[in-house]
Structure 1
Amino acid sequence: MTATLEEKNTALVLEALETLFNKKDYEKAAGFWSDTYIQHSQHVPAGREGLFGLVRTLPDVRFEYDMVAANGDFVWVHSRYTNSATPTALIAMDILRIENGKLVEHWDVLQNEATRSESAGGYPMFGSTFPDEQ
């Protein structure tokens, strides 16, 4: 059985994010990102080196995902980023565009993860439990 384009792109994105954020294997990670990578983010400097440089400044940053969707060359990842420099995790909707087997463009929407007492709706933002109840 042949994997669909969406399945291939989803696997590529998840492996790339795992390799960079959790394994900190910058050499291998460079193979996933285009040399001309475009970053649309308030928090991340331009280009592949901007992203890698940010990760280097946060040596214990961790990435995890909850949900993933793909359509053609685009993959959406519902993500959580944690590190010891900030007490509150960031919940993200990362949108990545793939071209010729490389990540070429990224957008994100970020917000601090709410605790139960901070949640107006009463439901966790990531997974099935609040961060203060894990």
Structure 2
Amino acid sequence: MPTTTPEENRRLVLEAFDTLFNKRDYDAALRFWSERYIQHSAHIPPGRDGLFNLVRALPATLRYENHLILAEGDYVITHGRFSGHGRPAAWIAADILRFENGKFAEHWDVLQDEATRAESVSGLPMFGDSFPA
């Protein structure tokens, strides 16, 4: 049985992402990620330490912006942008998180470089209502 509601889970994900990726407050971020956290991402080392160490290794300009967040039961899906990570294009990400006992227990993601206006075959931006500069 869930220990948090979908509404609480949405709030927790946004607070956790801001705490870890934008504020870089690793001590505060510990309260969101389970010690037994399972990381399914191909580009992130296993566990909570793998994620935190990856963030530590990225430039201090790293920034997460959320565009959409959905929750059902113990699962939350976000659509967001990771920028300032030192690569030419921002990443547009769909992150899927599973909660257990009020903390992130598992994570999956799908990442794609953000397309410019010239690269977008649809003519539409991938994030929000404008193309990257």
The structure that is strand-richer by fraction is 1
CA 13–111 in structure 1, closer or farther in 2 if over 3 Å, else same: same
Scaled by the length of structure 2, what TM-score is found?
Answer: 0.94
Task: Point out where structure 2 has 5 or more consecutive residues left out of the alignment.
Answer: none
- Equivalent AA in structure 1 for residue 72 of structure 2: N
Please, what is the CA RMSD of the aligned residues?
A: 1.0
C-alpha separation between the residues in 2 aligned to 1:42 and 1:131?
A: 26
Tell me the residue number matched to 2:48.
Answer: 48
C-alpha separation between the residues in 2 aligned to 1:82 and 1:57?
A: 14
Deviation string for 1:49-97 (max 9, x for gaps)? 0000000001221111100111110000001001251120000000000
Deviation string for 1:12-55 (max 9, x for gaps)? 11111100000100000011100000011111111000000000
C-alpha separation between the residues in 2 aligned to 1:123 and 1:85?
A: 24
1:65 aligns with 2:62: no
Tell me the residue number matched to 1:130.
Answer: 131
C-alpha separation between the residues in 2 aligned to 1:54 and 1:84?
A: 11
Following superposition of structure 1 onto structure 2, how do residues 1-134 of structure 1 map, counting pairs within 5 Å? 5-58=5-58, 59-132=60-133
C-alpha separation between the residues in 2 aligned to 1:114 and 1:5?
A: 35
- Equivalent AA in structure 2 for residue 129 of structure 1: S
Corresponding pairs, count: 129
Say which SS state the counterpart of residue 86 (structure 1) adopts: coil
C-alpha separation between the residues in 2 aligned to 1:74 and 1:68?
A: 11
Scaled by the length of structure 1, what TM-score is found?
Answer: 0.93
C-alpha separation between the residues in 2 aligned to 1:83 and 1:51?
A: 17
- 4+ residue segments displaced more than 2 Å: none
C-alpha separation between the residues in 2 aligned to 1:89 and 1:119?
A: 14
